[in-house]
Amino acid sequence: MLRFLVSVLVLASCKEVQKMAKAQYTVDSARACLVRQEDTIIFALIERAKFPLNSPTYNHTFTSISQIQGSLLHFFIRNTEAIQSKAGRYTNPEEIPFFPENLPPSVAPYYPSSEFLHSAGALININKDIWKLYFHVLLPMFVASGDDGNYAQTAAADLTLLQAISRRIHYGRFVAEAKFRETPQIFESLIRAKDRKALMKVLTLESIEKMVVKRVEKKAMVFGHEVSLEHVKEGTYKVDPSVVSLLYQKWLIPLTKNVELEYLLRRLD
């Protein structure tokens, strides 16, 4: 009877452990999460493409007469991240802010976050590079030129998409940790030798990468086509599916691997 009660107690507290932001990541669970994130990213691309470029959103001179410092986008993202930070968003190590300087601490009740990542690598933040990529390369690729005056909604759509992209790329830390834990012997000597080339080779699984690129293109077609009751409107998509596959092939996958690499290089610190 006592053993039964003890096992019930253990089960109950195991549920509590699970509640702590998925303390156990595996390579498989991390990959499953990345697959689900594809949908989030594609929805966010589609929703940003709803608006034209709306360049005053990004233009410092547009806001120069007001109390707003920097562009409308800077204002929007800095202030929105501050609210999210107070609400506890960045206590989850999966979330990385674009403006970490002077971010207010969480005022929400303490929630135990996962202690899965190695502390040195957990701090990796390449959002400045992602920001540059987003505005200089990605945005012009899939957004129509024009202005509809909806600058605040445009900034909101940018933030949602930036967060989704950032989250995907920085998830590389969890992927790297899971890979390390599965086969530490493969990684340790390469890390000690600081052999970037060899590490990158171990991290690269071309067949999986090819599948990812194909799958996101298919998803972009499925989620982005006009669904009507009569017929399928072939060929019209809310976002060009080849832009989505290019985004993954040229930037998301390589940048995620860069994060994996940087994480591993610090893993034995």
Q: Which two tokens stand for residue 206?
A: 């071309």
User: Looking at 9, 14, 19, 183, which residue binds another protein (CB under 8 A)?
Assistant: 19
Helix (H, G, I), strand (E, B) or coil at 21: coil
Q: Which two tokens stand for residue 99?
A: 């403006």
- Residue 238 lies near another protein (rule: CB under 8 A): yes
User: Which span sits near another protein by CB under 8 A: 74-82, 121-129, 131-139, 190-198?
Assistant: 74-82
Q: How far is the CB of 193 from another protein (least distance, A)?
A: 37
- Residue 214 lies near another protein (rule: CB under 8 A): yes
- Residue 31 lies near another protein (rule: CB under 8 A): no
- Residue 124 lies near another protein (rule: CB under 8 A): no
CA distances to 27, 85, 146, 204 from 118, rounded to whole Å, are 16, 22, 46, 21
User: Looking at 27, 88, 198, 243, which residue binds another protein (CB under 8 A)?
Assistant: 88
- Residue 118 lies near another protein (rule: CB under 8 A): no
Q: Which of 28, 265, 268 is closest to 124 using CA atoms?
A: 265
First and final C-alpha spacing in the chain: 47
C-beta of residue 88 within 8 angstroms of C-beta of residue 66: no
Q: Which two tokens stand for residue 200?
A: 């990158």
Looking at residue 258, its amino acid is N
Could you list the residues that contact another protein (CB under 8 A)? 19-22, 36, 39-40, 43, 46-47, 50-51, 62-63, 65-68, 72, 75-76, 79-80, 83-84, 86-89, 92, 95, 107-109, 111-113, 148-153, 155-156, 160, 211, 214-215, 218-219, 222-223, 227-229, 238
